[in-house]
Amino acid sequence: MLCLSLMAQAQGPGFQMPENKATFKDVDYVGDKTEPHRLDIYLPETNQEKYKVVVAIYGSAWFSNNMKQMAYMSIGKPLTDAGFAVVAINHRSSGDAKFPAQIHDVKAALRFIRANAAKYKLDTSFIGITGFSSGGHLSSLAGVTNGMKKRTVGNTTVDLEGTLGGYLDYSSCVDAVVDWFGPVDMAHMENCQTVKDEKSPEAALMGCAPAENPELVALISPITYISEEWKVESGEFATAAPDASGSAVANSKLYTLHSQKYPRFLVIHGDADNVVPQCQSIRFSEVLKKAGQLETFVNVPGGQHGPVTFNEKTFKQMTDFFLKESTKQKVVEQGGTGPFKAVMREEASLPAHTVFAPQDLSAFSAEHPLPVLVWGNGACTNSPWEHFKFLNEIASHGYLVVATGYIPMEEQPYHGPMSTTQQQIESIDWAIAQNADPASPYYNKIDVKAICAAGMSCGGLQTLYNCADPRLTTMMVCNSGLFNQQNAHQAVGGMPMPEKSKLNEIHTPVLYMLGDKEDIAYANGMDDFHRISHVPACAVNYPVGHGGTYRQAHGGEYSIVAVAWLDWQLKGDKEAAKMFTGKKPGLLQREKWTLEKNKKLK
């Protein structure tokens, strides 16, 4: 029976389940106070604000309703080590209720996770799912039924979503699936040719002999849902009855799932599995590949139904896949107007930051490296949602830009805790480490001696707080300036508040870019500028107030000035320098701009 042999081998005589060390234990995800509807949440020990999620489902041939801890013990620990929150769930057994009760439970848990994300520090921008054996079946079924309410095969219709636990306004979709040797094609479980008999786990799940109900056999099989000519009507799908072979999919035309709606799959199966034949995963992978949704099929030589198949290499393949799939990216404004079309992305190795870089890094090398801009956001918000057009434009001119905070997939305000000054330092540390890492796409492509720290408003205060970092080459302080004793009461709680003496620690050229007298930071910024005489300094003003032009197309006027300053300071571009230097600086030829510079800036 599915997975029971694995359990017996793993447990041995006198086995006792270890202490449950979940961060949140026995959470009732339905509200009925029953064992099958409990879950455990395991958080990494890294003290982040929130964590992306992977749901883990145990294998038991659908016979158990309380093995969530076994799911974490078997496949969960590598995921928390990789930085994911792992949600290990129970579900009703085939003895408790017949199919589709089990997939109703899985989808209820997924809705609960989204509805209660803040309470449990979960980042539901990514929810992966994985399971082994029958847990692999349920994980795969959750993936192939994203957004699907009902499914009909022949004369049999199944409700796939259910209403358990409420939260029906929340999605039950998943973003990626790892299937560990799950049964996925019940019409071919017996010797890869036909259905199992009336005493099989499948029969217990269905409540009847599989041979007696081929339509229900098709409906419990994940493979059915990805290899059909689907009729799509209001979230309901219809399929012809199974053919003479017992399969509803054997002779049908492939439906292409290549869409953001459907997750990608990693399928792992040992070739010595005597419980679920490997042909299940081979055939499933072939169909997924044709549909454009297969990452890869991993054959484990000598791999049994758990033993040998579970190993350090396959665990790493699982975590690498989830890390890859959970990394979001977006091309902003066609990549910018510069010569190097840029992309905005997350980097798994740098949580709570957003990276902007040229899409094609082949143009960069140790001889022609990318200078670096590290950025702090206005209001010290932990997302560059107001500045991503401006930062993307800079990147398109050949820069690696690392912004504090979570990636803004939409231009919507971020609601969450403030960022910290340390995140700018983390950005610098990360860029230097990437340049030195042979496994990084940025290896030997970053100019670690050409680094600018910059920020807007509260992010400008963070920049000034970090001004003494010896790795900095230049600074840009935008719509910002240090408070003095007279106006310190105007500061928002949580802002870094260095005294004016901090300006003496600046050791690089610095640009103050302000919004003229309408800018609430104008007085502070200009006061800073007038106090700086020991390094080259420049103050430029454009009459737009405190908000700048960051949210305008390609960052508006501010991006033009910022790119010129960076080209001069980080690339040594003499033409760019003319924007700020000489008796007739080029900036003054642009409408509405004003410029002041100290004696160090000629």
Give one DSSP letter per residue of 418-478, joined into a string: ---THHHHHHHHHHHHHHH-TTSTTTT-EEEEEEEEEEETHHHHHHHHTTT-TT-SEEEEE
What is the predicted pLDDT for the residue at 143? Answer: 96
Indicate if the pLDDT at residue 100 is higher than 50.
yes
Amino acid at 336: G
* Confidence tier at 496 by pLDDT (50, 70, 90): confident
Structure tokens at 78: 């590598």
Class of domain 4-10+22-326: alpha beta
What is the SS3 assignment for 234-260?
CCEEEECCCCCCCCCCCCCCCCCCCCC
Q: pLDDT-derived band of residue 493, with 50, 70 and 90 as boundaries?
A: low
Over 50: is that where the pLDDT of 7 sits? no
Q: Are 452 and 371 in contact (CB under 8 A)?
A: yes
Instruction: Between 227 and 418, name the one with better pLDDT.
Output: 418
Q: Residue 492 has what pLDDT?
A: 66
Give me the mean pLDDT over the 318-344 stretch: 95
How far apart (Å, rounded) are the C-alpha atoms in residues 133 and 3?
A: 6
Predicted pLDDT at 67: 96
> Is the pLDDT reported for residue 85 higher than 90?
yes
DSSP-derived secondary structure letter, 334: G
What's the rounded Cα separation, in Å, for the pair 470 and 419?
22
Of 476, 444, 452, nearest in space to 571 by CA: 452
Whole-angstrom CA distances from 161 to 46, 151, 187, 235 are 34, 10, 23, 11
Question: What is the predicted pLDDT for the residue at 260?
Answer: 41
β-partners of residue 402 are 355, 374
Condensed to tens digits (0 to 9), the pLDDT of residues 391-411 reads: 999 999 999 999 999 999 888
pLDDT at 465 over 80: yes
For residue 362, the tally of other CB atoms under 10 A from its CB is 7
DSSP notation for 392-414: HHHHTTT-EEEEES---SSS---
Higher pLDDT, 16 or 341: 341
Bridge partners (DSSP) listed for residue 330: 344
Is residue 182 classed as helix, strand or coil in its secondary structure?
A: coil
Order of strands, edge to edge, in the sheet holding 156-159? 156-159, 150-153, 236-239, 231-233
Handedness of CA 416, 422, 424, 425 (dihedral sign): negative
Architecture of domain 329-597: 3-Layer(aba) Sandwich (3.40)
pLDDT of amino acid 439 = 87
Cα dihedral 549→551→553→554 (10° resolution): 80
The residues of the chain that CATH labels 3.40.50.1820 are 4-10+22-326, 329-597
Structure tokens at 50: 């929130």
Residue 444: Cβ within 10 Å count: 15
The encoded tokens of residue 435 equal 């340049």
Which contiguous run of DSSP H or E holds residue 287? helix 279-290
- Of all residues in the chain, the percent with pLDDT exceeding 90 is 83
Residue 537, helix vs strand vs coil? strand
Q: Does pLDDT of 302 surpass 70?
A: yes
What is d(CA 106, CA 164) in angstroms, rounded to the nearest whole number? 10
Cα 484 from Cα 496, distance rounded (Å): 13
Tell me, what's the pLDDT at 328? 83
Distance CA 306, CA 375 (A): 47
pLDDT digits (tens, 9 = 90+) for 192-203: 999 999 999 999
pLDDT of residue 227: 53
Does residue 432 register a pLDDT over 80?
yes
**pLDDT of 379 strictly over 50:** yes
Lowest-pLDDT range of 70-79, 145-154, 227-236, 589-598: 227-236
Q: What is the pLDDT of residue 241?
A: 55
Mean pLDDT of the chain: 91
The HSE-up count of residue 587 (CA atoms within 13 Å, CB side) is 26
Across the range 101-126, mean pLDDT stands at 96
- Asked if pLDDT for residue 456 goes beyond 50, the answer is yes
Model pLDDT for residues 206-260, shown as the tens digit of each residue = 999 999 999 999 999 999 998 543 333 324 444 555 554 455 543 333 333 333 4
Q: Apex CA 544: angle with CA 558 and CA 570, to 5°?
A: 20
3-state secondary structure of 562: helix
pLDDT tens digits for range 142-186: 999 998 999 999 999 999 999 999 899 999 999 999 999 999 999
> Angle CA(260)–CA(261)–CA(264) in degrees, nearest 5?
70
**Identity (one letter) of the amino acid at 22?**
A
Residue 253 has what pLDDT? 36
Cα 281 from Cα 536, distance rounded (Å) = 65
Q: Please name which of 90, 104, 94, 93 lies closest in space to residue 164, comparing C-alpha atoms.
A: 104
The Cα angle at residue 258 between residues 337 and 89, in degrees rounded to 5: 110
